[in-house]
Amino acid sequence: MTAKSREELADGIVLAMTDLAGALGRLNDVIAQRSGVGPTDLLCLHTLNRLGPSTAGVLSARLGRTTGAITQMIDRLQKAGFVRRRPNPEDRRSVVVEAVPEALARIAELYAGLDARSRALMAELSEEQLAAVHAFLVASHRIAVQEADAL
């Protein structure tokens, strides 16, 4: 592969990533609307699903929002039945927030089509290709988080 064709391929990948980010943002907006929550609320639920129960401080750091904004978000999500608060077993002065499993299941249903189509697409790839895609996505996530933190 020549340096020029490698650069052109890299340019195409960066553009595809931008397009994918936009499409996933649109999908997340639609799912947030159908779920009756805001886009950042949906991101909070995704974070709780991945990390498990968390404090407001941890959510603040992960989502890049003030603790006051996180507290308001938790209040909204609790009122809508998506999360619950419970005493923090490690610190009696604070609480942890956990997603309600039934609420997460309802949201997961809205992602079922994307999941099925993505798995069908992945079935066409070799193990080596899947490993390369996985490594690229994990590294890209890390870089995006670093960029967001830097900004």
Please give the DSSP secondary-structure letter assigned to residue 100. -
Q: What residues pair up with 87 in beta bridges, in sequence order?
A: 95
Confidence of residue 33 (pLDDT cuts 50, 70, 90): very high
Do 106 and 35 touch, CB atoms closer than 8 A?
A: yes
Do 112 and 77 touch, CB atoms closer than 8 A?
A: no
| pLDDT tens string 88-119 | 888 888 899 999 999 999 999 999 999 999 99
Question: What pLDDT sits at residue 141?
Answer: 94
Contacts of 71 by beta carbon, 8 Å cutoff, 6+ apart: 56
69 pLDDT above the threshold of 80: yes
Question: What pLDDT sits at residue 1?
Answer: 74
Distance between CA 33 and CA 38 in Å, rounded? 7
Question: What pLDDT sits at residue 93?
Answer: 85
State the pTM of this model: 0.86
Do 39 and 32 touch, CB atoms closer than 8 A?
A: yes
| pLDDT tens string 78-87 | 999 999 999 9
